[in-house]
Structure 1
Amino acid sequence: MDIVEVDLKNIDKEHICCALSDKKGESQVSSKKEWLKERFNDGLVFKKGNVRGKVFIEYMPAENAWCPIIADDYMFINCLWVSGKYKGQGISDRLLEECIIDSKEKCKKGLVILSSDKKRPYLSDPKYLEYKGFKLADTSEPYYKLYYFPFENNIIIPEFKNTVKKDKDNELGFTLYYSNQCPFTSKYVKMAENFAIDRNVDLHIVRYENKEQAQSSSKPFTTYSLYHDGEFVTHEILNEKKFEDIFILKKFIKNRV
């Protein structure tokens, strides 16, 4: 399998792996590609296998990452994803090695990536990261872990900004924070909004429109984070059925209290 780098010259014709490719997914593809186009000037790199599947790595200088961390001179991995029939072939290792070589050539001190206490959707598998030599840098409630891979000894360890370590927020009802960094948010955030309108649910939606907003966030995962009455609910991008289940559960708990 060859590795292709997606850039402004070929992004309009390349399949970007993580987004749906049929007509129903066109808006998702479009939102993701527009997000990528705006990030290339920030040093974003998107490399993928030359197949129509989820086989890619996306990374950028940590100073420009849409994540509330302090990691000067590191390279931040937004996503490393190999799925389906392509798993177990060493492709993740190849993509990661591509990132390491490129980052060293750009004089970075190491890599940094957001993960969790165990394997969870939309976050990198901590067991794989530890197997590849990543070290724990910092943690944040309820289960987030920041890992780093240093290229040299005695360098500053990355950390979450203090904004993510504050007490819970005071918002009432549901609050959904998201960005278009993931193509699926364009569809499922709209679904949540329509559900809230139909059911008269108190839902406030906050979209991170630039890196400054994301970097000052109190949410470690700025791609998608759902809260209820200031309490964390999930980082997983919810379809309508899952959103409805959470709504019913929260309503039931509230009525019991």
Structure 2
Amino acid sequence: MDGHFIDLTPENLAGEHLCCIIRSKKPHPGVEEKRRWLAERLREGHVFRKLDEKGTVFIEYAPLEMAWVPVEGDNYLYIYCLWVTGPHKGKGYGRALLESCLADARAKGKSGVCMLGAEKQKAWLSDQSFARKFGFAAADTTDTGYQLLALSLDGTLPRFVPAAKRGIIDSQELTIYYDAQCPFIHQCVEKIAAFCEAGGIPLSLVRVDSLAQAKALPCPFNNFAVFYRGQFQTVNLLDEAAVRRLLKK
């Protein structure tokens, strides 16, 4: 395995690419939103570790107490995203990144590491079969088919907050909760809003702007979550075709 990894820091954040959307000239609004969001999170112990070259090879995690997810537990790390794609796949980078996170947890005396999974692998979620090879297992489940995968180092386990397990809200219209953590979200939300406006489709967009708001969300959440007719639907980012299918339910 060639190459080495670097961590984003307040000092190098402005000049480093963020892996998901690679642009060399024109600024990308989603990337810039993520950069601003990440600038705040790095001070809270958030880690963004990536291959030191332009490519999609990175892991992103945070102390669970500071992670913008409706999960609770003491002294865990939460993995938002572990992603290796393109020509870098199959070279051992994913294993090296996950092992570095686990080593970090042990060095800091953490109780374990956790991440969002599902009964069946979902798009926009890290490969849970890969995580299970390292010993991750379901620590908690929701009524909507999602799982909290955890690798415990001391026997304790994290859990979803009660509201997240039920996945129910009062509003019957299409409702999307989102934050700026993923660079793809900005354009996704813009396109859905334009599609719904053109079609006269009621839409409620709820931007998650604080840790407290994220911890109290009524559904599983990694950075995006969709409700329709009062029921939680998915954490997958949607395109127009997916919205059409959802509205036909």
> Which TM class, normalised by the smaller chain length?
over 0.9
Relative distance call for 1:119 and 1:238 in structure 2 (3 A) is same
- Equivalent residue number for residue 139 of structure 2: 137
5+ long unaligned stretches in structure 2: none
- One-letter amino acid matched to 2:14: D
Identity of aligned residues (%): 34
Post-superposition offset of 1:75:
0.8
Displaced runs of 4 or more, over 3 A: 22-25, 244-247
* Residues 116 and 145, structure 1, Cα contact 8 Å, conserved in 2: yes
Q: CA RMSD in A?
A: 1.7
Q: Which moved more, 1:143-152 or 1:91-100?
A: 143-152
- Equivalent residue number for residue 205 of structure 2: 205
5+ long unaligned stretches in structure 1: 251-257
Give 3-state SS (helix, strand or coil) of 1:12's partner. Answer: helix
Give 3-state SS (helix, strand or coil) of 1:217's partner. Answer: coil
* Residues 19 and 25, structure 1, Cα contact 8 Å, conserved in 2: no
- Cα distance in 2 for residues equivalent to 1:70 and 1:245: 33
- Equivalent residue number for residue 5 of structure 2: 3
- Cα distance in 2 for residues equivalent to 1:144 and 1:15: 31
* Residues 80 and 222, structure 2, Cα contact 8 Å, conserved in 1: no
Post-superposition offset of 1:167:
6.3
Deviations 1:174-225 (A, max 9, x none): 1111111111111111111111111111001111101110001111114111
Post-superposition offset of 1:168:
2.3
- One-letter amino acid matched to 2:246: I
* Residues 179 and 222, structure 1, Cα contact 8 Å, conserved in 2: no
- Cα distance in 2 for residues equivalent to 1:216 and 1:96: 28
* Residues 33 and 183, structure 2, Cα contact 8 Å, conserved in 1: yes
- Equivalent residue number for residue 214 of structure 1: 214
Post-superposition offset of 1:228:
1.1
Relative distance call for 1:65 and 1:240 in structure 2 (3 A) is same
- Equivalent residue number for residue 151 of structure 2: 149
TM-score w.r.t. the length of structure 2 is: 0.93
Deviations 1:127-147 (A, max 9, x none): 111111112200113221111
- One-letter amino acid matched to 1:80: L
Q: How many residues align?
A: 247
Structure with larger RCO (C-alpha < 8 A, sep 6+): 2
- One-letter amino acid matched to 1:197: E
TM-score w.r.t. the length of structure 1 is: 0.90
- Equivalent residue number for residue 81 of structure 2: 79
- One-letter amino acid matched to 1:161: V
- Cα distance in 2 for residues equivalent to 1:47 and 1:26: 21
Relative distance call for 1:159 and 1:149 in structure 2 (3 A) is same
